[in-house]
Structures are given as structure tokens and as C-alpha cells.
């Protein structure tokens, strides 16, 4: 093998290692700003798990600005949020089979569309900052009215409200939306 070819291959390998290490470093830094969390909810034999990253407000205007109205949002930060159920459920008014889905939203000033999608995505946005969501893979779209919590939340939070009927609750800043989950 000619010496020049060896040097080229070695250079490409070194650049690949540097790029990989740089990407891992950047990923770790973004996770510091928006830590990953998994929320688990048990009700009888139903298990709901949501894994997402939690961005913080940091004095920014959130909905209608950082998170624009009328555009698909990855519903958190970093990787696409995942929603896993071990049993068939009714999400809002839509039947959903047991499995793992990605969770997307389209925020609006008075109402959000909350979406479960059957595809898994490596990251929540493309290089152009747009959602990679394939609408053809949507399994449920539910409209949810915007509620106003008593006090604003600094960090984006997903939880399960166990009131009269369980609800998936998405809350950040001065906005909260909830989707009933039944099985």
C-alpha cells in the first residue's frame, strides 16, 4: 500500500475519532442545560413511562416565541420525547396499542395538538431546526385546551395527574395542557 494512501486513511480515521468525541462532548453539554428524566406512572396493571429532556425558562419568552405557535415541537429538548405503555390505552379519545411512541405537540395560544408517533428519531430537530416528525406515522392526535397553572414553572415538566381520571400533563412557564389516559 503506498505511503500516501496510508497517511490519508490515518488522517480520515483521526478526524472521525475527533468528530465523534466532539459530538459526544456537545451532547453532554446540552444534557447539562436540559437534563433527561423518566416519569413512570402505575395504575393497576398499566405502566406509562415518558422519557424527555427538561429545558429551563432562563428569563426567556417561551410559547409563541422560543416555541412558536402552529409548528411541531419535540416537546422537550435534545432527543425526541418517548411515551411507552405496556397495555392498550385510550389517549384522549384515540385508541393506542401497547408500545413505545414519540411525543410531539403543536402549541397554540388556546389549544395544543398532542401527537403520538410510531417512529423513533435520533434527535428532536434536524440541522435546520425543524422537526423530523413523519406525519404519516402518527397514531393519535388529540386536541387539549390550554390551562393556566397557579404559578409559572421554570423547568419544563411532564407528569401524570392521578385525579378522577389519569391525565398526561405537560407544563412550562404559564401554560399547562393535559390529555386523558385510560385503559
Which structural domain range is residue 69 located in? 34-182
Q: How many domains would you assign to the chain?
A: 1
The answer to whether residue 17 is domain-embedded is no
DSSP state of 18: H
- Provide mean pLDDT across the span 5-23: 71
What pLDDT is stored for residue 7 in this prediction? 78
Which of the four pLDDT bands, split at 50, 70 and 90, describes residue 22? low
The answer to whether residue 69 is domain-embedded is yes
Distance CA 92, CA 110 (A): 17
The answer to whether residue 82 is domain-embedded is yes
The answer to whether residue 24 is domain-embedded is no
The answer to whether residue 6 is domain-embedded is no
Q: Which of 38, 140, 135, 143 is nearest to 97 (CA)?
A: 140
Put simply, whether the predicted model's pTM sits higher than 0.85 gets the answer no
- Mean pLDDT for the chain overall: 88
The answer to whether residue 106 is domain-embedded is yes
The answer to whether residue 10 is domain-embedded is no
Contact by Cβ (8 Å): 155, 34: no
pLDDT, tens only, 86-110: 999 999 999 999 999 999 999 999 9
Look-up of cell digits 385510550 = 90
**Does residue 162 register a pLDDT over 90?**
no
- Provide mean pLDDT across the span 116-123: 90
Distance CA 105, CA 103 (A): 7
Contact by Cβ (8 Å): 11, 18: no
The answer to whether residue 157 is domain-embedded is yes
What pLDDT is stored for residue 4 in this prediction? 74
Contact by Cβ (8 Å): 124, 130: no
Amino acid at each position: 500500500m503506498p505511503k500516501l494512501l496510508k497517511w490519508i486513511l490515518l488522517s480520515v480515521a483521526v478526524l472521525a475519532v475527533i468528530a465523534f468525541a466532539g459530538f459526544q462532548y456537545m451532547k453532554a453539554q446540552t444534557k447539562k442545560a436540559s437534563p433527561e428524566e423518566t416519569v413512570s406512572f402505575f395504575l393497576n396493571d398499566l405502566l406509562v413511562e415518558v422519557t424527555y429532556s427538561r429545558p429551563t425558562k432562563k428569563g426567556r419568552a417561551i410559547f409563541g416565541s422560543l416555541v412558536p405557535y402552529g409548528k411541531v415541537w419535540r416537546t422537550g429538548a435534545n432527543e425526541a420525547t418517548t411515551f411507552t405503555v405496556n397495555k392498550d390505552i385510550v389517549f384522549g379519545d384515540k385508541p393506542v396499542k401497547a408500545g413505545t411512541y414519540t411525543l410531539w405537540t403543536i402549541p397554540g395560544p388556546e389549544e395544543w395538538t398532542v401527537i403520538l408517533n410510531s417512529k423513533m428519531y435520533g434527535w428532536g430537530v434536524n440541522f435546520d431546526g425543524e422537526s423530523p416528525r413523519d406525519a404519516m406515522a402518527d397514531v393519535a392526535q388529540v386536541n387539549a385546551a390550554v390551562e393556566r397553572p397557579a404559578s409559572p414553572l421554570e423547568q419544563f415538566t411532564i407528569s401524570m395527574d392521578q385525579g378522577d381520571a389519569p391525565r398526561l400533563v405537560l407544563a412550562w412557564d404559564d401554560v399547562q395542557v393535559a390529555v386523558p389516559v385510560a385503559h
